[in-house]
Amino acid sequence: MSALNLDDFSDLIERPDSGVRRDAEERRERLAVPAGALGRLDELGEWLAVAQATVPVRPVARPRVVLFAGDHGVAELGVSARTAGSAHELVRAVLEGGSAVSVLARRLDVPVRIIDAGLDCDPALLPDDVVRHRVRRGSGRIDIENALTTEEAEQAVRLGMRIADEEADSGTDLVVLGDLSVGGTTAAATLIAALCGTDASVVTGRGGAPIDDLAWMRKCAAVRDALRRARPVLGDLLELLAAVGGADLAAITGFLLQSSVRRMPVILDGVVSSACALVAQRAAFRSPDSWLAGQLSGEPAQAKALDRMALNPLLDHGVTVGEGAGALLALPLVQAAAALAAELPERAEEKTV
């Protein structure tokens, strides 16, 4: 396997066609509904036109929820409300239909795909189509050791790229991206702090299942110690993911980059997908053109990452459950924007006397 340089994606991701954006804006001006009357739905319609490279936009007919799963060794420090190594229970809940994202996905008739990138469990506990992609069992404790070897980080990024290709090739026209992890928000906060040059206390939140003050202080300390290990490798994004990321985060980063190459729109969920997006943006500055921030989760690190990428969240409902649930709530608005942009009639030409 050849060495992977994430910076190479900068040459693979095409610059958005300015003509498409201009055509979308001009078409919007001709519609019977006055420009601006639909609020952010107008903006979403133009975003889709650019992402799809077509005017009028095509309906979002085959969306899919894609969730990357993994356990993080840093959870052993008590930085999460969940027990270390228990992310497989989150996966099982989704598969059995008892999670928030499962309920929403059934209601919206959207299929859910789960990829085990680094769960710390016996593979026999889960279906083969989930566990067969696993890079390694769990990730290292990032406060004292690397999450992955460089080879594992590359394998995980390539896994994400492969999943993006599979989705694009199968006809998926929009992905709702999320994670199923324990300890993942600690790794995400570390990545964002490192890339934004921020202290641990500024980016450390209380996670999807809120933690108490003592756990928050342990989490701050873990991010602080991990940051010391991250700063020396900031110049190499693959090494950064190996040092303080994890198999799931590296896979999400690869997925986002390859989705941008394939021009497949992605709705980001919470702090984990936002952290990976920030890494991907550092590698290829044009990659965020095909992403939408679905929601603001309340995690301070997520807000900082989205601000750095100039992504304005669509929703702010305080959804912290993770699983892609908050991003999935944004999907109906995106579908509505696509329908309006494509189906609203143009104004009749005024007759001159």
Query: Across the strands, what pairs with 116?
Result: 69
Band of pLDDT at residue 272, cut at 50, 70 and 90: very high
Task: Please give the share of the chain, as a percent, with pLDDT higher than 90.
Answer: 74
Mapping DSSP onto H, E and C, the string for 51-94 reads HHCCCCCCCCCCEEEEEEEEEEHHHHHCCCCCCCCCHHHHHHHH
CATH (one of 3.30.565.10, 3.40.50.10210, 3.90.1150.10, 3.30.420.40) for 63-329: 3.40.50.10210
pLDDT, average across residues 5-14: 91
Query: Across the strands, what pairs with 191?
Result: none
pLDDT, average across residues 130-136: 96
Contact between 52 and 58 (Cβ < 8 Å): yes
Q: What residue segments make up the domains of the chain, in order of their start? A: 63-329
pLDDT for 38: 86
pLDDT for 294: 94
Distance CA 335, CA 43 (A): 13
Residue 323 falls in the annotated catalytic set: yes
**Candidate from 87-91, 179-183, 291-295, 348-352 with smallest mean pLDDT:** 348-352
pLDDT for 1: 41
pLDDT for 243: 97
**Candidate from 44-58, 75-89, 106-120, 168-182 with smallest mean pLDDT:** 44-58
Contact between 142 and 190 (Cβ < 8 Å): yes
Residue 353 scores a pLDDT above 70: no
pLDDT for 352: 45
β-sheet with 266-268: strand ranges across: 112-118, 63-71, 174-182, 266-268, 291-293
pLDDT, average across residues 174-187: 96
Mean pLDDT over all residues of the chain?
A: 92
Residue from 137, 177, 209 nearest 275 by CA: 177
Band of pLDDT at residue 208, cut at 50, 70 and 90: low
Residue 276 scores a pLDDT above 90: yes
DSSP string, 140-184: --TTTS-SS-HHHHHHHHHHHHHHHHHHHHTT--EEEEEEEEESH
Residue 350 scores a pLDDT above 70: no
pLDDT for 24: 81
Residue 319 scores a pLDDT above 50: yes
pTM of the model: 0.94
Residue 257 scores a pLDDT above 90: yes
The number of C-alpha atoms within 13 Å of 314 and in the hemisphere containing its C-beta is: 24
pLDDT for 23: 85
pLDDT, average across residues 147-168: 97
Residue from 187, 98, 86, 107 nearest 140 by CA: 187
Tens of pLDDT, residues 84-106: 999 999 999 999 999 999 999 99
pLDDT, average across residues 211-236: 93
- Amino acid, single-letter form, for residue 43: E
Query: Exactly one of 166, 323, 343, 346 is catalytic; which is it?
Result: 323
- Which range among 155-164, 194-203, 295-304 has the greatest average pLDDT? 155-164
Task: Please give the share of the chain, as a percent, with pLDDT higher than 70.
Answer: 97
**Candidate from 76-80, 110-114, 252-256, 257-261 with smallest mean pLDDT:** 76-80
The one-character DSSP state at 24 is H
